[in-house]
Amino acid sequence: MILIEAVCLAVGAFVLLMPKEDPDLDELVNKKIKFEYQTETDRVVTYGLAVPRPNIDIQLLTVNDWSRPGIKVDSIDKIVVHYLGNPETTAQQNHDYFQSLKNLQNTYMSANYVVGTNGEIIQCVPDGEVAWASNKANYYSISIENCHLDSSGQFTEATYWSDVHLVAYLTEKYSLDRDDIIRHYDVTGKDCPKWYVEHPDEWEQFKDDVMTYRQECEQAQRNMIDELLHPDDDDETEEDILRKYLDGLNAETDVQLETSDQNLWDELKKRAEKAAAKDDAENEG
C-alpha cells in the first residue's frame, strides 16, 4: 500500500512538473509564416520564414522550480534583452549555473537564450515556456541574456550581431514588430541591459539593425524565388542559388535553414520544375 502511494506521488509530481498542454500556444510556436509576393509574371504564396534560424546550441535545462518551471506562457508578445552583470563569464557557464539552481535552490534565475561574447547562442528554455528573467514579462515574452567583457555592459561585436540575427528571427517567427523589442529596463526600470539603458541612441540603432536585417532577408528570399522561377544562368544549380541566397543575408554568424524552410525549398523546386516544363512546351510549340 505504501509502495503504491509512493508511486502515485511520484507520478503526480512528474505530471505536475510537465509543461501543461496548450494547443493555441503550441500552434503559435510551431506555426509557419505565410509569405506572399508578386514577381513580374507570377504570384507566389509560400509558407516559410525569410529570416534563417541562427545557429542555436539547444541545451534545455531540466524542468525544475528554480530555473525552468515548465509553465507555459500566456502569449509571446515581447522579446526582452538583458545583460548578465557578471563580466567575462561565458554562455556555457551561465547555462550551467542556471542548471545548477535545480540543486542549489537558492535563487530563481534563467533565460530562454544566453548569447556569449563570441556570438554563440545557447537555448536554455524553449520558446513558449516561462524563464525567470523579466519579472511580470516572463509570462508574455522570450528573454535573451547577454554576456559581456567588462562592467560597462557593452556587447562585443559578435554578441551584438548574434542578438540582431536572433531577435530578427524571433520577431518574424512570432509576428512581432520593432516596438515589441524591449529592454528589461522597459519592464521594471532596472538598469538592464546597462549599456543600452545608458546609451538609448544605441538601443534605437539596435532595433533599426534588427528591422534592416529582416528586410534584407525578405529581399534575398524574393530574389532567390525569382531566380528559381526564372533562371538566367544555365550553369547555376539550385544549390548555387541557395548558397547565394544565404550569402546575401549578410549573416556574420552561421545560419541554417529550418524544417519549415526545407518544405519551402521543396515547394519552390516543384514550382521551378513546373515553370521550366511549361517554358519548354511553349518553345517547342
Q: How many CB atoms lie within 10 A of CB 163?
A: 25
Q: Residues near 150 by Cβ (< 8 Å), separated by ≥ 6?
A: 87, 88
Cβ(153)–Cβ(91) below 8 Å? no
Q: Which is nearer to Zn ion, 53 or 82 (CB)?
A: 82
- Which residues in the 5-44 window bind Zn ion by CB under 5 A? none
CB of 194 to Zn ion, least distance (A): 9
Q: How many residues belong to the site for Zn ion (CB under 5 A)?
A: 3
Beta bridge partners of 122: 57, 114
Q: Which is nearer to Zn ion, 87 or 231 (CB)?
A: 87
Residue in the structure block whose three cell numbers are 567575462: 88
CB of 53 to Zn ion, least distance (A): 24
Q: Which is nearer to Zn ion, 78 or 184 (CB)?
A: 184
Distance from C-alpha of 113 to C-alpha of 131, rounded to nearest angstrom: 9
- Which residues in the 137-196 window bind Zn ion by CB under 5 A? 184, 192
What are the backbone angles phi and psi of residue 145, rounded to the nearest 5°?
-90, 145
CB of 133 to Zn ion, least distance (A): 6
78 binds Zn ion (CB under 5 A): no
Distance from C-alpha of 12 to C-alpha of 20, rounded to nearest angstrom: 13
Cβ(16)–Cβ(8) below 8 Å? no
Q: Residues near 238 by Cβ (< 8 Å), separated by ≥ 6?
A: 228, 269, 272
Candidate ranges 80-88, 164-172, 263-271, 273-281; the one touching Zn ion (CB under 5 A): 80-88
* 53, 82, 148, 194: residue in contact with Zn ion (rule CB under 5 A): 82
Q: Which is nearer to Zn ion, 47 or 140 (CB)?
A: 140
Candidate ranges 61-69, 74-82, 164-172, 271-279; the one touching Zn ion (CB under 5 A): 74-82
CB of 247 to Zn ion, least distance (A): 35
Q: Residue 108, exposed/middle/buried by CB under 10 A (0-12, 13-18, 19+)?
A: middle
Q: Which is nearer to Zn ion, 53 or 183 (CB)?
A: 183
Query: Contact residues for Zn ion (CB under 5 A)?
Result: 82, 184, 192
